[in-house]
Chain A
């Protein structure tokens, strides 16, 4: 596996949970659908690797934040569909507020830097 691939996993760690939970906020979805939604909603910036997505889904499932059921898709294909649980909704709220804090903090750190580079 390439170094880039490995880096990407680490980069998304933590935030990936948030993205998955947020995506499922709009309704049950299968793995491919989730990765598709994240990519589309981020304007093709965020590409979720399958190698990180499925481990993350199974981890969230074990933590009982999401549950999975087998459904048959429009193409008559059996797919595993994930759904947000009540516990997962609570988790999403706390992850969101934490994310807001982190991004504020990062913005705060970055703003003086920007001023410096401008100077």
Chain B
């Protein structure tokens, strides 16, 4: 049915006319029977009856009546809300905060957890890894991947990829590009099509194939002004020419590991790493796959385990104990944050409940002030149902206005939340206020409206009309006060739960910040340096000389206190491992029987630069170079694990990929490679240091196009980054320095999700505390106001101001303490859901619980104190005369 105002007006006019014609015909009949026109008309009019009522009843038949009543209720509701702007403002603001916070968080949860991945048939997508005896999700070797691809029956496509940095030259200033080595099917698996051009064809990813590349839309725009002519042109990457085959749209995004902001995609076969064709070398490749339609993940696992066992039979040296790990892609992408987001969603739900309770309280207080109004309305014939509907209309009106405002707040809050989480959130780009989120907002707004509207509505129902009118609107019935008391208890309890959760997060983060990472992170800068493209063809000796030159130039920069080249692992940032065995023990027959250690390739000043303590022996010197015998330094974890009860100094180990036998010359402190929190629980923690200049020639050849550099600088040195950059530029034209990052930044980024959950929970908790104290204040003021007369009498009878103060305070504190008790007990049960987010503090940490409960009690006391003081100042004469 269309409800049109104009149509309606026309029908009104027609009804008037119809009744008028009826009247005239009746009068005409009477006149025909001999009555005077005047008489006839009056009699006809009388016979017709109550014209207004007839119209009213007839109009109801048009089916618009409910709209009309709604319209009346809305108009009346708006008038009532406008009449008390204070109440309306507070209620709407409270609701807007509650609904806004919920909408913002829900939009994050929706984008990250609920929405399917933005690829066709996302349920078919899985993540692939190679499982090793002690490690579920290891990297996949290229030959193994080729066999997986060939032998599986359950995948329609699979692909592997790994990150890389290329130096782009010949197109403006030389710069470093984030690149990705991929196999041909990479974009086929995801169902992503190039903006223009094509993706890689089968076998274009083979070793020895022609060099081609796909570029990001961003790079295409920046370097080729988005011209289609770019296709077929060449890019000079690390001095080699790659023909551009296609452009990948900017909308493409994959929240997986280090996969973000990729500038250029290159087929795997173009990687000049000599280990690429080796079956035992994972080289950091991780895979994605698309299951054939209808294939379950279990079927795929069974299939791949068969493939793996035939590979193990064919290549026992490298593939014994090697399997395939298959996990749903979405789970891999969002797995870690789901607990966090759900805890936050629960928390924000509490905030909204508190907001609703507050508004319900306000409505209750107002409803009692309006008892007379309702009594009069029902005396004039409004039914109970109509009154309840009126109250619900008013509360829904409030809730919807609050909701609309909340949606605005949420738009802003979501952006703020994403900024806070700074890259720690997978799928962040999919978070937005879309129709689903707005629907959620609408639904919770309506639910809130009903929730807090129902309390006063039910209260109004079943009240005796007579008593109310006689009572003169004071309405001091105990029942209502009890309802308000319960609401205060509930909101205090919920606020306490939130405060305790936030308190636990604060304690966790403090505990984490106090963890010693094993090195001094202050004033340490890391960045990458790449030698000019012609160095591609240099000898290992030439590269060593060039790197030594870079070292010298940087040493001369004012403010640099110590520096070191760094290859392989970088604490809390990237890891690299070496296979080894210990001299004196039988030589392992296969790589499977060798041991792993984290491996850092550094120079002599590394220890000084990082502030890592030397425990025994010595660290490297400039004499540990390509001409001297190989030496390594190990950390205390390595020493304890492989040389229990012995002196490791002077022992020898064989390094599988770093030139064989090396002597241990020193032991240093352990560095928390895997992160402040998770390092202790990792299985691979042994660390070894290898002198950079002793890198075997093939490895040295690889380092020409990008090696890490770390610098400890004087804290007073201004713009150290710029000085370093100009020093490197000063060496020669095409030296490239990549973006700098401080170690402190790296540590801080590794804690992004903890910081996010702490700040968000903290904000929610403070919001809850503020709302709850406003609520307590409101109720205590109201109750004290109700008792003005009683207080007046008490004082007239000799009660001291102090007694009144104590009485009112105790009234409020009774409720608060009951709420604190309930909240305390509930928290004991609830906080264990967030145990996985906590560190160094138990989920029921008594200190946090007690301190937070005390804080809440004190805030509540303050909230009660203001109305109590006001009550204390009551002038008995005024209070009594008031009636």
CA distance A33 to B24 in the complex (A): 12
Q: Are A55 and B57 interface neighbours, CB within 8 A?
A: yes
Q: Among the listed A31, A62, A73, A80, which residue makes an inter-chain contact with B14, where contact means beta carbons less than 8 Å apart?
A: A80
Q: Does A12 contact B (CB under 8 A)?
A: no
With CB as the reference atom, state the residue of chain B lying closest to A36.
Answer: B29
Minimum Cβ distance to chain B for residue A10 (Å): 13
Q: Are B49 and A75 interface neighbours, CB within 8 A?
A: no
With CB as the reference atom, state the residue of chain A lying closest to B17.
Answer: A78
Q: Are A51 and B54 interface neighbours, CB within 8 A?
A: yes
Given contacts A55-B58, A55-B60, A58-B61, is CB(A80)–CB(B18) below 8 Å? yes
Minimum Cβ distance to chain A for residue B255 (Å): 57
Identify which of residues 15-33 in chain B touch chain A, using a CB-to-CB cut-off of 8 Å: 15, 17-19, 21-22, 24-26, 28-29
With CB as the reference atom, state the residue of chain A lying closest to B22.
Answer: A32
Contacts of A51 in B (CB 8 A): 49-50, 53-54, 57
Q: Does B511 contact A (CB under 8 A)?
A: no
Total A-B pairs, Cβ < 8 A: 62
Q: Are A1 and B58 interface neighbours, CB within 8 A?
A: no
Q: Does B170 contact A (CB under 8 A)?
A: no
Contacts of B17 in A (CB 8 A): 78, 80
Q: Are A77 and B22 interface neighbours, CB within 8 A?
A: no
Q: Are B57 and A50 interface neighbours, CB within 8 A?
A: no
Q: Among the listed A1, A49, A77, which residue makes an inter-chain contact with B21, where contact means beta carbons less than 8 Å apart?
A: A77
Contacts of B24 in A (CB 8 A): 77
Q: Among the listed B48, B50, B58, which residue makes an inter-chain contact with A58, where contact means beta carbons less than 8 Å apart?
A: B58
Q: Among the listed B14, B15, B25, B61, which residue makes an inter-chain contact with A59, where contact means beta carbons less than 8 Å apart?
A: B61
Given contacts A1-B49, A80-B14, is CB(A54)–CB(B21) below 8 Å? no
Identify which of residues 31-86 in chain A touch chain B, using a CB-to-CB cut-off of 8 Å: 31-33, 36, 49-51, 54-55, 58-59, 62, 70, 73, 75, 77-80
Given contacts A32-B22, A54-B18, is CB(A62)–CB(B50) below 8 Å? no
Contacts of A75 in B (CB 8 A): 25, 28
Contacts of A80 in B (CB 8 A): 14, 17-18, 21
Contacts of A50 in B (CB 8 A): 19, 22, 47-49, 54
With CB as the reference atom, state the residue of chain A lying closest to B63.
Answer: A62
Q: Does A5 contact B (CB under 8 A)?
A: yes
With CB as the reference atom, state the residue of chain B lying closest to A2.
Answer: B49
Minimum Cβ distance to chain B for residue A50 (Å): 5
CA distance A78 to B20 in the complex (A): 10
Given contacts A5-B49, A78-B17, is CB(A54)–CB(B54) below 8 Å? yes
Task: Give the number of residues in A that approach B within 8 Å (Cβ atoms).
Answer: 22
Minimum Cβ distance to chain A for residue B701 (Å): 89
Minimum Cβ distance to chain A for residue B64 (Å): 10
Q: Does B5 contact A (CB under 8 A)?
A: no
With CB as the reference atom, state the residue of chain A lying closest to B50.
Answer: A1
Q: Does B62 contact A (CB under 8 A)?
A: yes
CA distance A49 to B58 in the complex (A): 13
Given contacts A62-B61, A62-B63, A80-B14, is CB(A54)–CB(B49) below 8 Å? no
Q: Among the listed B15, B25, B49, B61, which residue makes an inter-chain contact with A49, where contact means beta carbons less than 8 Å apart?
A: B49
CA distance A31 to B21 in the complex (A): 9
Contacts of B19 in A (CB 8 A): 50, 54
Minimum Cβ distance to chain B for residue A7 (Å): 14
Q: Please encode chain A, from 5 to 27, with 1 for each CB lying within 8 Å of some chain B CB and 0 for all others.
A: 10000000000000000000000
Contacts of B61 in A (CB 8 A): 55, 58-59, 62
With CB as the reference atom, state the residue of chain B lying closest to A54.
Answer: B58
Contacts of B47 in A (CB 8 A): 50
CA distance A54 to B60 in the complex (A): 11
Task: Give the number of residues in B that approach A within 8 Å (Cβ atoms).
Answer: 24
Contacts of B15 in A (CB 8 A): 54
Contacts of B54 in A (CB 8 A): 50-51, 54-55
Minimum Cβ distance to chain B for residue A9 (Å): 9
Q: Are A31 and B49 interface neighbours, CB within 8 A?
A: no
CA distance A75 to B31 in the complex (A): 14
Given contacts A51-B57, A55-B57, is CB(A32)–CB(B21) below 8 Å? yes
Q: Are A31 and B18 interface neighbours, CB within 8 A?
A: yes
Contacts of B57 in A (CB 8 A): 51, 54-55
CA distance A86 to B28 in the complex (A): 33
Q: Please encode chain B, from 44 to 88, with 1 for each CB lying within 8 Å of some chain A CB and 0 for all others.
A: 000111100110011011110000000000000000000000000
Identify which of residues 72-103 in chain A touch chain B, using a CB-to-CB cut-off of 8 Å: 73, 75, 77-80
Contacts of B58 in A (CB 8 A): 54-55, 58
CA distance A55 to B50 in the complex (A): 13
Contacts of B14 in A (CB 8 A): 70, 80
Minimum Cβ distance to chain A for residue B361 (Å): 43
Contacts of A1 in B (CB 8 A): 49-50, 53
Contacts of A5 in B (CB 8 A): 49
CA distance A58 to B18 in the complex (A): 11
CA distance A50 to B22 in the complex (A): 9
CA distance A50 to B25 in the complex (A): 13
CA distance A5 to B28 in the complex (A): 24
With CB as the reference atom, state the residue of chain B lying closest to A33.
Answer: B25
CA distance A55 to B49 in the complex (A): 14
CA distance A14 to B66 in the complex (A): 23
With CB as the reference atom, state the residue of chain B lying closest to A79.
Answer: B21
CA distance A31 to B48 in the complex (A): 12
With CB as the reference atom, state the residue of chain B lying closest to A56.
Answer: B61
CA distance A69 to B354 in the complex (A): 59
CA distance A36 to B62 in the complex (A): 24
Minimum Cβ distance to chain A for residue B206 (Å): 75
With CB as the reference atom, state the residue of chain B lying closest to A31.
Answer: B22
Q: Please encode chain B, from 439 to 453, with 1 for each CB lying within 8 Å of some chain A CB and 0 for all others.
A: 000000000000000
Contacts of A73 in B (CB 8 A): 21, 25
CA distance A49 to B47 in the complex (A): 8
Additional A-B contact list (17), CB under 8 Å, known A32-B22, A58-B62, A78-B21: A1-B50, A1-B53, A30-B21, A32-B21, A36-B29, A49-B49, A50-B49, A51-B50, A54-B15, A54-B58, A55-B54, A55-B58, A73-B21, A75-B25, A77-B21, A80-B14, A80-B18
6 nearest CB pairs, A to B: A58-B61, A32-B25, A59-B61, A80-B18, A55-B57, A32-B22
9 A–B pairs (Cβ distance < 8 Å), ordered by A? A1-B49, A31-B18, A32-B26, A36-B29, A51-B49, A51-B54, A62-B62, A62-B63, A78-B17
